[in-house]
Structure 1
Amino acid sequence: MKYIYLDQNKWIELAKGLKERNPIYISLYETIVKNVKDGVWAFPLSSIHISEAMKRRNEISRKQLLDLMFSVSNGYAICDYITADNIEFNTWINNKAVNYSQLKGEIIKHDWAAIIGLSTENADIKFSERPCLSDELDKIKQIIKKLSCGREIFDLICNVVNDNIEEDEAFYYRCYEEGRKSFLSWKNEIKSLEEYKDKHLYPAYLSNVFFEVYKERITNLSPRIRINITELFEENSKNKTTAIANLEALPGFNVHNRLIFELYNNPDKKVHEHDFNDLAYLRIAIPYCDIVIGENYWCDRVRNYSLDKKYNTIVNTKLLSLISD
């Protein structure tokens, strides 16, 4: 099965093509439906998809888009970036590496609850004092699993994600503005150093961000686990190339910081609030989906840094490439 992540605009493009009865989009939709039914393709939804759809003021348009997403995605969901980051970090501290291909089953699930970082697999089933036969328990679990991909759960998730959408976007944009201001100040300081070289800017930035993000979590690790991290940092101190490779071993952290660095360090790029929705999905979609179809700017940047090659992901800007390539 190939996991295909569509940028929100691509979902809208597909919905519009179907509404207008455009033959090529009808053909694409028929191919999608067949491949989803055959288990060849899956189109996982994220919280970003839901929040963007719920912002549509036209009730009919909003319902049509959500209906399309519900039917095509068929219960497949990709978890939020905080959950993904926790999974990656815990894997990294235990193994000093992250095999992203082995984590796909934890990041992408056939379970709507994964959109908000939950899982029906962990539902606590308790029975009264009478014993329950194993086959009965299996039947109950199958019913719960079936319901986890149903419309009622989907609608509940939509209502949960709908809360504070605009406030979240404004908050993340303010964080970006503060972060960029801090970055430019730091960049000006280190550029005055004699040993400064442009090629060292990103590694220095990545190292600084790593300790800002993970310092507290590392401090609170058990002594046994801290040994792994200590050994890793000792290796890092001997070889700067190895040091950066070890930090980039966290897939989401790596993708996010490559792209946010692009925003901080590119004065010509006009930044919009929706850019942070793009970043929130790219940091998960690039490592864990087989195909990502998105907007021109970010696809270009992903390819520029060879992130598509690193994670063996096809990155494209054309929705119709699904049936034309």
Structure 2
Amino acid sequence: MAPRQAPSYAWPGHLVRPQTGQRLVYLDLNHWISLAKAATGHATGAQYAPALAAVRVAVASGRYVFPLSLTHYMEMVGILDPRQRGDIAAVMEEVSGFSTLLSRTAIMRLEIEAALDRVFATTSPHIADINLLGHGIGHAMGKRGGLYIQSESRDVTSEVRAKWPGGLAVFDAFLADAHLQLERGVLRGPTDAEVPDLQARGWDPTATRTIAEQRAESERQQAERLDQSPEWRNRLRDIVQARYLTLEVINILNQALIDRDRNIDNVFTDRESGRAFTESMPSANIHVALVEAAHRNRDKSWEPNDIFDVDGLSIAVPYCDMVVTERHACHVIRTARIPQGMQTEIVPRLSDLTVWLNGQLAD
């Protein structure tokens, strides 16, 4: 893939970054698994012990946050061994404290708004500010987090709290513990003994993977079309960008245009304007770079994990300070010169993270 100049990004002004000066470090699931091996004394875990030690020091310093994303929760469901899930979840809880990145869908919406604001020289006052960093699975899904007590369609938490036996402090402790247990349960998933009852209540652990499989199949079909019409490979980036717009964000884009009393022809006046619009959105640019690179490899066999990787990295790379991912993705993103415009460090090994953290903490 030929190097490109870093585009000029329309960073979403309504996405509120942490104001504390903390640096965000994103680990893909494989690296969380490695840290869990170190924490549990696994036979192959000793090589990751220095990284775990550095991560713990970084967390204790208060200067670093290691957030989870919705992708992590979805990938954890695919791990069948409850003990392994529990080991990984324990390290994730210790290190992340259940800090989570805002959902990819919510970020895409804010990026669409910012890109349209640039095109039309407008602002988007109809959009409320949203924090990039939040707590728990609710924030990772783009929803209101926490536990609340409902009566029919009304939130009665404050009323119940005021009448709670033992007083406000007892209620707050009860709710905090219930929230903690919920977060732990969602991340680690059920034990084998809990599965039958959950399945009887309609729980389906394959749902997220089924969606990822459908998206992977769509990419397999696209690869077949490219093989049948190889001349289109000369415009592969345009094709991937067009598919991103039509498959990933078209509903968000259409609604944002309606809100502005505009239509899509006002945005895409020619090929270059379409490219510029898509490339101005940071997460879109990561998505397109990774998918384009995958389609350039004619031997590529798309799997659900590839979809998870693209989704996770598309929000981690633009909005975190350090990303530790697998070697190929690291190469693709670096080759595309994307980090230059995002000021993000991207490395393939936990040992690289250890060096980076130790250097940072020594300053």
**What TM-score does the superposition give when structure 2 sets the normalisation length?**
0.68
- Once residues 143 and 248 of structure 1 are traced to their aligned partners in structure 2, the CA distance between those partners, rounded to angstroms, is 47
Tell me which amino acid in the other structure corresponds to 1:154: R
Does the CA-based 8 Å contact 1:93-1:229 persist in structure 2?
Answer: no
| Pair 1:30 & 2:53 matched | yes
Amino acid at match of 2:37: K
Whole-Å Cα distance in 1 between the matches of residues 178 and 68 of structure 2?
14
The farther-off stretch of 9-18 and 51-60 is: 51-60
Give the Cα separation in 1 of the matches to 2:23 and 2:252: 34
**What does residue 119 of structure 1 align with?**
144
> Aligned ranges for residues 1-325 of structure 1 at < 5 Å?
1-20=22-41, 25-96=48-119, 106-120=131-145, 125-126=155-156, 150-156=180-186, 159=189, 162=205, 164-184=207-227, 188=231, 198=234, 201-203=236-238, 205-207=240-242, 209-211=244-246, 213-221=248-256, 225-227=260-262, 232-233=267-268, 237=270, 241=272, 243-325=274-356
Identity of aligned residues (%): 19
- Name the CA shift for 1:244/1:32 in 2 (closer, same or farther; >3 Å): same
Segments of structure 2 that go 5 or more residues without pairing to the other structure are 1-21, 122-127, 149-153, 163-167, 190-202, 357-363
Distance, in Å, in 1 between the alignment partners of 2:345 and 2:23 is 11
- 2:221 is matched by which residue type in structure 1? E
Q: Which amino acid aligns with 1:28?
A: A
Tell me how far apart the structure 2 counterparts of residues 165 and 228 of structure 1 sit (CA, whole Å).
Answer: 33
- TM-score normalized by structure 1? 0.75
CA–CA distance in 2 between the matches of 1:269 and 1:313? 27
Q: Which amino acid aligns with 1:72?
A: V
SS at match of 2:343: coil
Q: Structure 1 residues 216, 104: CA separation in 2 closer, same or farther (over 3 Å shift)?
A: closer
1:194 corresponding residue in structure 2: none
What is the CA-CA distance between 1:70 and the residue it aligns to? 1.2
Task: Check whether the contact 2:71–2:312 (CA below 8 A) recurs between aligned residues.
Answer: yes
* 1:245-301 residue CA offsets vs partner (Å, 9 max, x unmatched): 222111222211221122223214344332111111011111111111011111110
- Partner SS state of residue 315, structure 2: helix
In the alignment of these two chains, the number of paired residues is 302
Partner amino acid for 1:278? Answer: D
Determine if contact 1:8/1:49 at 8 Å carries over to the other structure: yes
User: How far 1:144 moved relative to its partner?
Assistant: 10
Per-residue deviation at 1:216? 4.7
CA contact (8 A) 1:17 1:25 kept: yes
Q: Is the contact made by 1:5 and 1:289 (CA closer than 8 Å) also made in structure 2?
A: yes
Q: Which amino acid aligns with 2:81?
A: N
After TM superposition, the structure 1 stretch with the greater mean CA deviation from structure 2, 157-166 or 299-308, is 157-166
In structure 2, C-alpha distance between the alignment counterparts of 1:273 and 1:91, rounded to whole Å:
30
1: CA distance, partners of 2:101 / 2:204: 14
Q: Using the TM superposition, give the Cα deviation of residue 49 of structure 1 relative to its aligned residue in structure 2, in angstroms.
A: 1.9
Task: Determine if contact 1:77/1:109 at 8 Å carries over to the other structure.
Answer: yes
CA distances 1:3-62 after superposition (whole Å, capped 9, x unpaired): 111111111111212333766644432332232133211111123223333333333222
The 1:317/1:221 distance shift into structure 2, 3 A limit, reads closer
Contact persistence 2:108–2:249 (CA under 8 A): no
Is the CA contact (8 Å cut-off) linking 1:77 and 1:110 kept in structure 2? yes
Equivalent position SS for 2:184: helix
Distance 1:307 1:148 in 2: 42
| Unaligned ranges ≥5, structure 1 | 98-102, 133-137, 192-197
Higher helix share: 1
